[in-house]
Amino acid sequence: MTNKAHINYQLILEQVFDKMTGLENSGQVATYIPQLAKVDANKLGIHLIDSEQSHYSVGDACEKFSIQSIAKVLSLTLALKARGDSLWQRVGVEPSGSAFNSLVQLEYEKGRPRNPFINAGAIVVCDVLISEYRQPKSELLKFIRALSGNAKLSFDPAVAESEKRTSYRNNALAHLMKDFGNIDNDIETVLDLYCYLCSIEMTCQEMAQTFMYLADNGVNPLTGEVVVSSIEAKRINAIMQLCGFYDEAGEFSFTVGLPGKSGVGGGIIAIHPKHYSVAVWSPKLNSKGNSFIGMKVLEAITTISQSSIF
Amino acid sequence: MTNKAHINYQLILEQVFDKMTGLENSGQVATYIPQLAKVDANKLGIHLIDSEQSHYSVGDACEKFSIQSIAKVLSLTLALKARGDSLWQRVGVEPSGSAFNSLVQLEYEKGRPRNPFINAGAIVVCDVLISEYRQPKSELLKFIRALSGNAKLSFDPAVAESEKRTSYRNNALAHLMKDFGNIDNDIETVLDLYCYLCSIEMTCQEMAQTFMYLADNGVNPLTGEVVVSSIEAKRINAIMQLCGFYDEAGEFSFTVGLPGKSGVGGGIIAIHPKHYSVAVWSPKLNSKGNSFIGMKVLEAITTISQSSIF
Amino acid sequence: MTNKAHINYQLILEQVFDKMTGLENSGQVATYIPQLAKVDANKLGIHLIDSEQSHYSVGDACEKFSIQSIAKVLSLTLALKARGDSLWQRVGVEPSGSAFNSLVQLEYEKGRPRNPFINAGAIVVCDVLISEYRQPKSELLKFIRALSGNAKLSFDPAVAESEKRTSYRNNALAHLMKDFGNIDNDIETVLDLYCYLCSIEMTCQEMAQTFMYLADNGVNPLTGEVVVSSIEAKRINAIMQLCGFYDEAGEFSFTVGLPGKSGVGGGIIAIHPKHYSVAVWSPKLNSKGNSFIGMKVLEAITTISQSSIF
Amino acid sequence: MTNKAHINYQLILEQVFDKMTGLENSGQVATYIPQLAKVDANKLGIHLIDSEQSHYSVGDACEKFSIQSIAKVLSLTLALKARGDSLWQRVGVEPSGSAFNSLVQLEYEKGRPRNPFINAGAIVVCDVLISEYRQPKSELLKFIRALSGNAKLSFDPAVAESEKRTSYRNNALAHLMKDFGNIDNDIETVLDLYCYLCSIEMTCQEMAQTFMYLADNGVNPLTGEVVVSSIEAKRINAIMQLCGFYDEAGEFSFTVGLPGKSGVGGGIIAIHPKHYSVAVWSPKLNSKGNSFIGMKVLEAITTISQSSIF
C-alpha cells in the first residue's frame, strides 16, 4: 500500500462521534422483520483500519449487527472469483435510477438486473454461487471468515428465516428473472441462500477488517492472500461508487466521495482505496433506506481528513 | 329476450366460413406448452345461439379445445355472485393499456390489478374463490356444467400441469400482489386453481351455450335460473368490451363492435346482448395473442348481420 | 331509426334532477384557467333528444358552457371524413391506461398516441385538419354549426387564449410527437387550432343535437345529410366507449353502459345508438376529471330507462 | 498539487495511439445535424496535461471539434458559482438509469431532472444562467476563455442554429419542466442558450487545459484563480463519475475508473484528481452515444499508467 503521512484517525473519530451526539436523528429503524425492529436505535459505532493495519474505534464498534445488503459485495466478490468477466452477461454494472426492489426496470430490460447490489442482481449472484459450489453457504462463510479474521463469524438463522417469510417481492423478482431465463437453479434454493447471505452478523471492527481487501488492491492484509486481482478490486469499488446506496448513490458520492455500501441494518462500509476501510453502524434509516447518522459520520470523516477519491 | 326479425344466421356462418378458407392465415399457434403446440392449426369452428335458443354451426364447432383465458369471465361471474360489489376493492374495471402479464402497471398501482381479465386480475379472482369455497375446483365445474348443459365438462389436467410448470411470470405477479397484501391464500394453491381454470375444454357449441346468460340478462336459458342480476350481466359485458382482448380491445370494439373475450387456445366468445352468443375457434394467433381468423370471422358476421352494439 | 316504445324521458329527467339536488357534491371546479374557475359550480342541466327528434330538458340546459374535450369527437369526425382509415396510421384506437396528458406512454410508443381523445391524439387530429383545410377553424365551425342547427355557434376566444398561455404540457406532447415525425405542421399553428377547438361553447340542448348523428347511423337528423357512414358512426361510438373518460372509461361503461365523452368544463355527452343522445352539464369534477354529478345523472337515467348497450 | 513520480505520459499516449490504429472501429458518426455528419470519421487526437502543467499530445490533438455535451460541465460550474447549494433544489445529483433525453423519468419525478448532465438538467442550468446574467452567452464565453487560455474560443453558430432546428425533444423536455414550474425564463431563450452552449468548439489541447481546474482542487492553474472551492470541484467530479456517460456511466467507471464526460461530437474529457486532465477525440460513437475509440483510449491509458481513482 501507498504510504501516507500519519493521520490521527482516532482524534477524528472521537470528534465526529461527539458531533453526532448533538444531532437530531430523524431516521427510522427498519421494522419489516422483528429482529431488526427490536435493535436499540441509539447505537453508534465507528471503526477504521488504515493501510498499516492500525485500528481506530469509537462507540459501539464491537457490537454485532445484521450487515444485510453489505454482504452483497462479498457474494459478488466470490462469484467474480469463480466466473470472471462472464458474470457480466448475467448482471450489469449500471446504476438503477429506481428503487432497490423495483420490478419495472427488470421487466423493461428483460430480466437482466442493472447491477449486483439491487435485490434482483444479488439474487442472480446467489444463483451463480449455487451453480458453482456444492455447499454455497459453507463456502461463503469460509470466504468471509478468512477476510474478517474471525473463524466463528456466521449467519443469524432467526434473521434469515424471518426474511424468507416476508420475501414476497424478492420471490416476484426471482420468478420474473426465471421467466426470462436468468435463474438456473430452483427458486426456493436461490432465495434461501440470498436470505442467509443478508443475515450475516458482524461488528464494525469485523466489517472494516473484512473489506480491507478493497482498500489494498485485492489482497487480504491479514494473510497476504490475493482475494481478487488489483483490477477486479478497482472494479468492485467502481460498482460500489455507482450503485452502493440504492437511489442515493449520487448523494453519497457527492457528500462523502468514497465507494461504499449500506444495509438496512444501519451499517455502512466505505473504502478509501490505498488508505483505509471504515465501518459505521447506526440503526435509524433515512427515507432512502440508508443510515441517517451513518451518512453524516462518513461525510464528517472525509471532510475532516480530506479523503475523497475525487 | 327482445324479439328480432328472424335472421338466417346459418347462411351467414356458411358465407363467412367460405370467405375464411381463401384467406392467408399469418398467425402462429401458441407454443409455450406442448398441449397447445400440437393442435391442428387449420381447425375452424363457429357456433351461434340466438335469443330463441336456435343453434347455427359450421366447421369444427363440435371439437374440444382449451378455452384458456375465456374461462376468466366464468370465474369472475362466480366471484361476483359470492362477493357482489365488494369484489371491486380487490380488482379494477379499467383497461390496462399494456401487455396482459406486465408487472409494471401492477407495481405502479400497488398490487391492485386493473381488471379481472389480465392475468393478475384473474389470479386475484381465484384467490377470492378459494376464500369463498371449500372445494373451489368442484364448485367451478358445477357452475360451468350447469351453464353449458354438459355435465361431463371438465379440466384438462395435462394442460393445467403444463401451465403450472411454466408459470414463472404468473408466480411473479402473485408474489408481487401478496407483497402488497392483495392475495389472502397460499400462492401455490391460488396458482393451482388459476391453471386448472385456464385448462377447461369446450367445443364451440358448448362455449356459445355457456355464455348465453350474458346475452339473456343474466339468466341461464337452459334452466331459467338467474345466474347474475340483469345489471351484473351488463357490467360483465362492459368489462369484456373494455378489457377482453388484451392490448387489442379497442381494435375489437372498433371492427367487431361486441363485448367478447379471447383465449390463447384460439377461441373467442362474443355476445350481442339480447340477440346472440357466438363462439369461434381457430388456433393461430395474431401478434397481440388473439385468434387471427377468429377476429376476422366476427368482423364478417357482425358486418353482414349488422349487429354491432354501437 | 329503430322505433321504440315511447318512453316518458321528461319524467325520468325530472326524477333524476330531483334526486341530484339532495346529493352532496364532493367535486371541484377546474381552475387552471380563469374562465373555467369563475363558472357557477351549482349549475346542472340535462337535455335528451330521442330518435323521433323529441326534446326533453331540465335545469340549466339552455345555458352555454365550454365543451372542452367533448369537441375532440367532432374534430375526429371531420378528420375521418377527410382521411378515412388512413387516419389510424397516425393515431390508435386503444384505451390509454394512464392520465390524459401523460408523456410516458407516448414516448414508449414512439409518438403515436393511443387514441384520438387523449390530448396527444387530439393534437395529431388537429394537425391532420390543418393539412386538409386551408381554413381549418372556419371549416370546423361550419361543420359543427350544421350539426347543431345553430349558425352562430362559435369559439370563446378568451378561453382559447387562456388555454394557449397554460399549455406547456400540450406543447411538450406536440414537440415529442414532432420529434417522432408525427406532426406535419408548425407546432404553434397546431396548438392554436387545438385550443380553439377546446373553447367551443354550447348549451346542453345544442350539444345533444350536435351529437345526434352518432345515435342515428351517421346521419344528421336535422338535414338528412350523411355525416359519416353508418360503420364509421359505430366506430366513433366504439372509441368513445373505450376512451371517452380518461382513466375512468371502465367505470363509465360499468355504471352507465353507453358510449360517451366528457370535458373538464363539466359537460358529458352520451349516446344510446338508435335511441337517443343526452347531454349533461355540472361543473364540479371528480378526482379523475369527469363531472361528479354528470356521471351520477347518466347512471340514474340509464338505470331507470334500462338503456344500456350491454 | 500532489507531487507524483514522473510518468512518461508521452510514451504512453504514443503506445495507445498505435494500438488504436489497428483496431476496427464499429462506431457511427452522429448525423442528426449536417455539421457533425460531415466530420472526418478517422480523426483521433489525445492531449494530457499533468499536475506540473506539462503537456503530452498525439494525433489530431490541435484540431477543433464540437465539444457538445462536455460543455454541460462548464455551465454547471458557472451556475454553481452563482447559486451555490441552492442549485440542487432545481436539479438532482443521481444517475438517471435511462436515456439522456427520456421524458419518462422527468414526468415521474415531477419536472426535477435527475442530474445536470442529462438534457433536461442542462436546460435547467441554462435557465439559471439566464436568470443570473444579463448577457449569459458572453459570460459563458468569458468564463471558458479564461479556463482555456484561448481568448478567441467561441461558439459555432452554424452548429447552434442546426441544433435549434432539430431540437423538438429538448423543446418537449423544456415545456414539460415549465409545466411543473421548473423553468423561469422564456423557453425559446433558454433553448437558444442551450444550443449555443453545445456548439462550443475546442481542440483536445484546449479541452484538457479548460478542465484542469477539476484536477487541481478548483484552481485555474494558468492564473492561480479559484474557479470553485476544493469541495465543489470534488462534487463536480463525483457527478461526472456517476452521470457523465449517459447510460454507460457504470461501464466507464468500471473500465476507466476516472470521472469524465463525453459528447456526441466524439470528445471525452477525463480527470484524474490531483494528477492530470486528458482529452480524447474520435468522432465515431458506440451504441450508447459515447466515442467508441475514445472509451478504449482512456481504458488503455489508465490501465498502463495505473491511474484509477479506485
The answer to which of A201-215, C101-115, C179-193 has the lowest mean pLDDT is C101-115
Structural domain harbouring B135: 71-198
Q: Are B46 and B203 in contact (CB under 8 A)?
A: no
Q: D308 at the A interface (CB within 8 A)?
A: yes
Q: Are C268 and C117 in contact (CB under 8 A)?
A: no
Residue D61 sits in the same domain as residue D206? yes
The size of chain B, in residues, is 310
Cell triple for C130: 390543418
> Does residue C310 lie in a domain region?
no
Cα angle for residues D264, D128, D71 (degrees, 5° grid): 25
Please classify residue D11 by burial: count the beta carbons closer than 10 Å to its beta carbon, then call 0-12 exposed, 13-18 middle and 19+ buried.
exposed
Give the closest-approach CA distance of D255 to chain A in angstroms.
7
Is C119 annotated as contributing to ligand binding? yes
What residues of B form the annotated binding site for substrate?
69, 119, 163, 170, 194, 246, 264
Cβ atoms within 10 Å of A304's Cβ, excluding its own: 16
Q: A125 at the D interface (CB within 8 A)?
A: no
Q: HSE-up of B265 (CA within 13 Å, CB side)?
A: 28
* Amino acid code (one letter) for C190: V
The residues in D 164-183 lying below 8 A from C, measured between CB atoms, are 168-169, 171-176, 178-179
Q: D310 at the A interface (CB within 8 A)?
A: yes
**Number of domains forming the structure of chain B:** 2
Which H or E element spans position B215? helix B212-215
- DSSP letter string, D32-94: SSHHHHTS-TT--EEEEEETT--EEEEESTTS-EE-GGGHHHHHHHHHHHHHGGGGGGTS--S
Q: Say how far residue C122 (Cα) sits from the centre of its chain.
A: 11
Partners of C66 in the β-ladder: C201
* Amino acid code (one letter) for B105: Q
> Does residue D143 lie in a domain region?
yes
Residue D100 sits in the same domain as residue D60? no
C58 three-class SS: strand
Residue B185 sits in the same domain as residue B208? no
Residue D166 sits in the same domain as residue D77? yes
Cell triple for A187: 427458486
The Cα C228–Cα C208 span in angstroms is 17
Q: B96 at the A interface (CB within 8 A)?
A: no
Which whole number is the average pLDDT over A269-288? 96
Which positions ≥6 away from C88 have C-beta within 8 Å? Answer: none
Cell triple for D182: 421548473
What pLDDT, on a 0 to 100 scale, did the predictor assign at position D141?
97
Q: Which residues of D touch C175 (CB under 8 A)?
A: 168-169, 171-172, 175
> pLDDT band at residue A2, thresholds of 50, 70 and 90?
very low
pLDDT digits (tens, 9 = 90+) for B174-209: 999 999 999 999 999 999 999 999 999 999 999 999
pLDDT digits (tens, 9 = 90+) for C41-64: 999 999 999 999 999 999 999 999
pLDDT over 70 at C99, yes or no: no
> Does residue C162 lie in a domain region?
yes
Which whole number is the average pLDDT over D110-114? 92
Which whole number is the average pLDDT over C243-272? 93
pLDDT over 70 at C108, yes or no: yes
Where does a domain end: C140, C171, C198?
C198
> pLDDT band at residue B1, thresholds of 50, 70 and 90?
very low
Using alpha carbons only, how large is chain A's radius of gyration in Å? 18
pLDDT over 70 at A1, yes or no: no
Q: What percent of chain C has pLDDT over 90?
A: 83
The answer to which of C26-30, D203-207, D213-217 has the lowest mean pLDDT is C26-30
Q: Are A288 and A248 in contact (CB under 8 A)?
A: yes
- How much is the ipTM here? 0.90
Largest interatomic CA distance in chain D: 54
> Does residue D246 lie in a domain region?
yes
Count contacts between C and D (CB, < 8 Å). Answer: 47
What pLDDT, on a 0 to 100 scale, did the predictor assign at position C3?
45
Touching chains, C (3+ CB pairs < 8 A): B, D
Average pLDDT, chain D: 93
Q: A104 at the B interface (CB within 8 A)?
A: yes
Q: Which residues of C touch B96 (CB under 8 A)?
A: 97
Residue A57 sits in the same domain as residue A163? no
CATH number for the domain including C45? Answer: 3.40.710.10
Is C264 annotated as contributing to ligand binding? yes
pLDDT digits (tens, 9 = 90+) for D59-106: 999 999 999 999 999 999 999 999 999 999 999 998 887 665 677 788
Is A119 annotated as contributing to ligand binding? yes
Q: What is the 3-state secondary structure (H, E, C) of A218-256?
A: CECCCCCCECCCHHHHHHHHHHHHHHCCHHHHHHHHHHC
- DSSP letter string, D84-109: GGGGGGTS--S--SS-TT-SHHHHHT
> Does residue C3 lie in a domain region?
no
What is the DSSP pairing of strand C267-272 with strand B65-66?
unpaired
Q: Are C103 and D111 in contact (CB under 8 A)?
A: no
Residue A103 sits in the same domain as residue A190? yes
Higher pLDDT, D300 or A248: D300
Which H or E element spans position A276? strand A276-281
The residues in B 209-268 lying below 8 A from C, measured between CB atoms, are 231, 233-235, 237-239, 241-243, 247-251, 253-254, 257, 259
Q: Are B215 and B272 in contact (CB under 8 A)?
A: yes
pLDDT over 50 at A184, yes or no: yes
Scanning A109-244, the segments in alpha helix (DSSP H) are 119-132, 136-148, 157-165, 168-179, 187-198, 204-210, 212-215, 230-243
To the nearest 10°, report the CA torsion of D199, D203, D208, D213.
Answer: -50
Touching chains, D (3+ CB pairs < 8 A): A, C
Q: In this complex, do B95 and C259 lie within 8 Å of one another by their Cβ atoms?
A: no
What pLDDT, on a 0 to 100 scale, did the predictor assign at position D3?
45
What pLDDT, on a 0 to 100 scale, did the predictor assign at position C1?
42
Count contacts between B and C (CB, < 8 Å). Answer: 107
Q: In this complex, do C242 and B95 lie within 8 Å of one another by their Cβ atoms?
A: yes
Touching chains, A (3+ CB pairs < 8 A): B, D
What pLDDT, on a 0 to 100 scale, did the predictor assign at position C100?
58
Give the closest-approach CA distance of D47 to chain A in angstroms.
21
CB nearest D242 (choices: A96, A249, A308)? A249
Cβ atoms within 10 Å of A55's Cβ, excluding its own: 14
Phi, psi values for residue B266, rounded to 5°: 95, 5
What pLDDT, on a 0 to 100 scale, did the predictor assign at position B99?
62
> pLDDT band at residue A98, thresholds of 50, 70 and 90?
low
Residue C207 sits in the same domain as residue C300? yes
What pLDDT, on a 0 to 100 scale, did the predictor assign at position D107?
84
3-state percent helix, strand, coil for chain D, nearest multiple of 5: 50, 10, 40
Q: Which residues of D touch A114 (CB under 8 A)?
A: 97
Average pLDDT, chain A: 93
What is the DSSP pairing of strand C45-50 with strand C55-59?
antiparallel
Q: Are A164 and A190 in contact (CB under 8 A)?
A: no
pLDDT digits (tens, 9 = 90+) for A250-265: 889 989 999 999 999 9
Which whole number is the average pLDDT over A128-143? 97
Report the first-to-last Cα separation within chain C, whole angstroms.
19
Q: Are B252 and C95 in contact (CB under 8 A)?
A: no
Give the closest-approach CA distance of B28 to chain C in angstroms.
23
What pLDDT, on a 0 to 100 scale, did the predictor assign at position C107?
84
For the entire predicted model, the pTM comes to 0.90
> pLDDT band at residue D26, thresholds of 50, 70 and 90?
confident
pLDDT digits (tens, 9 = 90+) for C138-182: 999 999 999 999 999 999 999 999 999 888 999 999 999 999 999
To the nearest 10°, report the CA torsion of D111, D113, D118, D121.
Answer: 90
The dihedral of CA C282, C286, C289, C294: what is its sign?
Answer: negative
What pLDDT, on a 0 to 100 scale, did the predictor assign at position C101?
65
What pLDDT, on a 0 to 100 scale, did the predictor assign at position D2?
44
Which whole number is the average pLDDT over D147-164? 95
Q: Are A168 and B175 in contact (CB under 8 A)?
A: yes
Q: Which residues of B touch C290 (CB under 8 A)?
A: none
Q: Are D176 and C102 in contact (CB under 8 A)?
A: no
Q: D92 at the A interface (CB within 8 A)?
A: yes
Is A171 annotated as contributing to ligand binding? no
Residue A132 sits in the same domain as residue A249? no
Q: Are D122 and D75 in contact (CB under 8 A)?
A: yes
Is C69 annotated as contributing to ligand binding? yes
In a mutational test of the D interface, the residue from A117, A211, A253, A295 whose CB has the highest number of chain D CBs within 10 Å is A253
CB nearest D169 (choices: C102, C169, C175)? C175
> Does residue D59 lie in a domain region?
yes
> Does residue B125 lie in a domain region?
yes
Q: B105 at the A interface (CB within 8 A)?
A: no
Where does a domain end: A152, A177, A198?
A198
Q: A1 at the D interface (CB within 8 A)?
A: no
Cell triple for B295: 377476429
Q: Are D233 and D213 in contact (CB under 8 A)?
A: yes
> Does residue B4 lie in a domain region?
no
The answer to which of A147-151, A166-170, B154-158 has the lowest mean pLDDT is A166-170
Q: In this complex, do D175 and C172 lie within 8 Å of one another by their Cβ atoms?
A: yes
The dihedral of CA A238, A241, A247, A251: what is its sign?
Answer: negative
Mean pLDDT comparison of A93-107, A239-253, D43-57, D84-98, highest-scoring range: D43-57
Q: A7 at the B interface (CB within 8 A)?
A: no
What pLDDT, on a 0 to 100 scale, did the predictor assign at position D108?
81
Give the closest-approach CA distance of A13 to chain D in angstroms.
21
What is the DSSP pairing of strand D267-272 with strand D260-262?
antiparallel
Q: Which residues of A touch B99 (CB under 8 A)?
A: none
Q: B120 at the C interface (CB within 8 A)?
A: no
Q: Which residues of D touch C107 (CB under 8 A)?
A: 102-104
Cell triple for A251: 448523494
The size of chain A, in residues, is 310
The Cα C182–Cα B41 span in angstroms is 38
Q: Are A269 and A279 in contact (CB under 8 A)?
A: yes
Q: Are B114 and C97 in contact (CB under 8 A)?
A: yes
Q: Which residues of B touch C114 (CB under 8 A)?
A: 97
DSSP single-letter state for residue A186: -
pLDDT digits (tens, 9 = 90+) for B281-296: 999 999 989 999 999 9
Which whole number is the average pLDDT over C213-237? 96
D276 three-class SS: strand
Owner of C-alpha cell 376566444? C157
Exposure class string for C69-101: b at 16+ Cβ within 10 A, else e: bbbbbbbbbbbbbebeeebbebbbbbbbbbbbb
Residue A58 sits in the same domain as residue A84? no
Q: What percent of chain C has pLDDT over 70?
A: 97
Residue C111 sits in the same domain as residue C98? yes
Owner of C-alpha cell 375532440? C72
Residue A287 sits in the same domain as residue A221? yes
Where does a domain end: B198, B220, B255?
B198
Residue D152 sits in the same domain as residue D208? no
Q: In this complex, do A94 and D94 lie within 8 Å of one another by their Cβ atoms?
A: no
